Amino acid sequence: MNNVRMDNLSWVEYERRVQSGAVVFLPIGATEQHGPHLPLGTDALLASAISEDVAREIHGIVAPALAYGYKSQPKCGGGQHFCGTTSVDGATLIAMVRDAVREFHRHGVKRLVLVIGHYENQWFVTEGIDLALRDIGPDAGLQVMRLEHWEFLQPQTIERIFPDGFPGIALEHAAVIETSMMLHYHPQLVALDRIPAHGPAEFPVYDLYPTRTEWVPASGVLSSALGASAQKGQWLVGDVIGGIVQAVRFEFALGEV
């Protein structure tokens, strides 16, 4: 039994922990193409693994991930024309988050962290939180943190991993960072020999609809994952775990637990 996973706890144990002030984490991922070498579940798997690592350090609880995210966009996820990418409408994601936040509030949770693992989710998650807080009223006593885990990467780590220059987080879809993190957490799900070798995708500053699918490499990888390693994954995950633990402790005034 993994005792930070909410779905592994009985309600009695969950209630006991919530009443003693446990922070609850909700990973919000996607089911989205991640090239020929990473699995469709990458975003949810990483957001869940990171949430569990953080939760273990601060006696938190990790709720079941939202496994379907907002529609993949060409510039950050390849786009909706890929087979396997399974996305929801904005209204659906907003509703899922709204309902979940409202329910955690009903449980008595005071400190909730939404851990986003899919770039496209951010604004719909934000709206879901806002609507839930409107529902429960201004004095409900629930504090919600929303974060994208890659935002906690340190500049020095990025420099160490990309000594020849960082192509930018926007192109890091199925590339070195995600692949390294997956090699750290789920090496058996990474097909190193299937990493495509092509250079980074180039996009204009605007978007066109219907999607210009020719802008996106056929592999779905936006910049190459060659050079990814479990060691780099460890460094990256270290930044993220450390950063989130610190943020949660600081903002939610948790002592060292």
Q: Answer yes or no: 139 catalytic.
A: no
| Dihedral (CA of 134, 67, 144, 8) sign | positive
Establish whether 37 is a catalytic residue: no
User: CB 32 → a second copy: shortest distance, Å?
Assistant: 8
Q: What is the nearest approach in angstroms of a second copy to the Cβ of residue 208? A: 6
Evaluate whether 67 touches 31 at the Cβ level (below 8 Å): yes
Q: Describe the crossing of helices 42-58 and 230-251 by its angle, rounded to 10 degrees.
A: 50
Minimum distance between the CB of residue 228 and a second copy, rounded to whole angstroms?
A: 15
- Strands 143-148 and 61-62, by their bridges, are unpaired
- C-alpha–C-alpha distance, residues 25 and 64, integer Å: 9
Helix (H, G, I), strand (E, B) or coil at 179: helix
53 is known as an active-site residue: no
Q: Which is nearer to a second copy, 101 or 176 (CB)?
A: 101
Give 11 or 256: the residue with its C-beta nearer to a second copy: 11
How far apart CA 68 and CA 41 sit, in angstroms, is 9
* The one catalytic residue among 52, 53, 120, 239: 120
SS3 51: helix
Catalytic annotation present for 81: no
Min. distance of Cβ 145 from a second copy in angstroms? 5
Catalytic member of 52, 172, 178, 239: 178
Nearest one of 147, 171, 148, 179 to 73, comparing CA atoms: 171
Please indicate whether residue 184 is annotated as part of the active site: no
Q: At what angle do helices 230-251 and 176-185 cross, to 10 degrees?
A: 90
Q: Which is nearer to a second copy, 37 or 232 (CB)?
A: 37
Question: Does the active-site annotation cover 251?
Answer: no
Nearer CB in complex with a second copy: 44/183? 44
Catalytic residue among 52, 53, 105, 118: 118
Of 29, 75, 68, give the one whose Cα is nearest residue 49. Answer: 29
Known catalytic residue at 32: yes
Instruction: State the nearest-atom distance from the C-beta of 64 to a second copy, in Å.
Output: 4
Q: Give the active site residues.
A: 32, 34, 43, 118, 120, 173, 178
